[in-house]
């Protein structure tokens, strides 16, 4: 719990309440920036703009980009349709339809797995929640532009086809707990 500090409002002097001198001083500051940026030389300029897309910043290694679903060795989705991600999602943007998997060791698989990227706030909670390491945000791609709302809903096949960015942790192979191997070994 933060401490709430209640403070009395500051009484301003007549001088301050006349605003004029203070405004003149404020104008001096903003005009100073304006002139040094508009008419100054390289040293005095302080422009922060990056001219995307001609200039691009390098995203940090742990940048949360678009989601992807990871595959098992046989190419099927690692996701077991447990709804943990959609439960954790604060934006309610993951829609899953679970179905009976033909492989009864796996039991469940997502017949549909859709993320509405327009609703997604890229918080990464889905990645944290996943017990199967089936969903990651390591593609390094940010949301593409959409022309329709429907385009923004990415389905299972598309999510499975995305690749992780080089340098991020590789996915480990499918594990069967019955073999007694610890996960990730």
Partner 1 sequence: MPSLTLDGKKVDFQPGETIIQAATRENVEIPYYCWHPRLSVAANCRMCLVEVEKAPKLMPACQTAATDGMVVHTQNEKVKDAQRAVHEFLLVNHPIDCPICDQAGECKLQDYYMEYQLAPSRVVEHKVNKPRLEELGPHVVYNAERCIVCTRCVRFMDEVAQNPQLGVFNRGDHSEIGCAPGVVLDDAYSLNTVDVCPVGALTSTIFRFKQRAWNLKRSDSVCGGCARGCNIHVDQRSGVVYRLLPRDNDAVNKSWLCDEGRLTYNRPNEGKITEALIREGQDAPTTTDGVAALNKAVELLKPLANAGKGVAATLSLHATVEEAYVFGRFVKDVLKADTIGLVGLLPGGQDDLLRVADKNPNRAGVMAVFADMGLKPVDERELMQRMKSGTVKAWLAVGHETSFGPELALAAKGLEVVVHVAYARGPIAEVARVTLPGVSWVQTDGTWVNVQQRAQRLKAGFLPEHDAKPTHAWLMDIASRLGVAYAWPSMTTIRAEIESQLPSFREAKLTQVPPTGTQLPWAVPAEAASKI
Partner 2 sequence: MLFLLVTTLLKFVFLVLLFIMPLATLLTWMERRQSALTQDRLGPWRASFFSIGGKPVRLLGLLHPIADAIKMLFKEPFTPASADKRLHAIAPLVGYVMALVVMSVIPFGPDIPTSILPFVSEETIAKYPVVPLQVVRLDAGILWMFALASLGVYGAALAGWASNNRFALLGGLRASAQAISYEVALGLTVVGILIAFGATEPSAIVNAQNQAGGLGLPLWGILVQPLGALLFFIASVAETKRTPFDVPEGESEIIGYFVEYSSMGFGMFMLGEFVEIVVLSAVFSTLFLGGWDLPWIMGNDSIWLGFTTLTPDSVGVGTFHLVHMLLGMGIWGAKIFFLCALQLQIRWTLPRFRYDQVMNLGWKMLLPLALANIFVSAAVIWWDPSLTAMTVLGLGFIGLVILVAVAGPRRRTAHADHGHGSHASHSTDSHGHPATSH
Could you list the residues that contact partner 1 (CB under 8 A)? 80-84, 87, 98-100, 104-108, 131-132, 177-178, 180
Residue 125 found at the interface with ligand SF4 (CB under 6 A): yes
Q: How far apart are CA 70 and CA 173, in angstroms?
A: 10
Helix H or strand E segment including 96: strand 94-100
Q: Residues 38-77 vs ligand SF4: string with x where CB under 6 A?
A: ----------------------------------------
> Which partner in partner 2, ligand SF4, partner 1, none is near 5 (CB below 5 to 8 A by kind)?
partner 2
Q: Are 111 and 98 in contact (CB under 8 A)?
A: yes
Q: Which is nearer to partner 1, 145 or 180 (CB)?
A: 180
Q: Which is nearer to partner 1, 31 or 97 (CB)?
A: 97
Q: Which is nearer to partner 2, 23 or 174 (CB)?
A: 23
Q: Are 112 and 97 in contact (CB under 8 A)?
A: yes
Phi, psi at residue 128, to the nearest 5°? Answer: -65, -35
Of 70, 93, 66, 67, which is closest to residue 160 (Cα–Cα)? 70
Residue with tokens 């996701």: 79
Q: Which is nearer to ligand SF4, 36 or 106 (CB)?
A: 106
Task: Give the residue, chosen from 68, 94, 160, 162, that forms a contact with ligand SF4 under the rule CB under 6 A.
Answer: 94
> Which partner in partner 1, ligand SF4, partner 2, none is near 141 (CB below 5 to 8 A by kind)?
none
Contacts of 16 (CB under 8 A, 6+ apart): 22
């Amino acid at each position: 719990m933060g401490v709430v500090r209640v403070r009395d409002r500051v009484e301003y002097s007549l001088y301050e309440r006349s605003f004029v001198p203070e405004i003149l001083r404020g104008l001096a500051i903003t005009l100073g920036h304006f002139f040094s940026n508009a008419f100054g030389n390289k040293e005095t300029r302080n422009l922060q703009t990056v001219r995307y897309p001609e200039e691009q910043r390098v995203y940090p290694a742990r940048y949360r980009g678009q989601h992807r679903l990871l595959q098992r060795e046989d190419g099927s989705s690692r996701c077991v349709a447990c709804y943990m991600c959609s439960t954790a999602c604060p934006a309610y943007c993951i829609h899953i339809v679970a179905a009976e998997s033909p492989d009864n060791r796996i039991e469940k698989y997502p017949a549909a797995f859709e993320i509405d990227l327009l609703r997604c706030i890229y918080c990464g909670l889905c990645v944290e929640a996943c017990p199967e390491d089936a969903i990651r945000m390591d593609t390094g791609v940010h949301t593409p532009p959409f022309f329709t709302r429907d385009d923004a809903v990415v389905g299972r096949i598309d999510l499975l086809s995305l690749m992780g960015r080089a340098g991020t942790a590789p996915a480990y192979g499918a594990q069967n707990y019955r073999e007694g191997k610890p996960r990730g070994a």
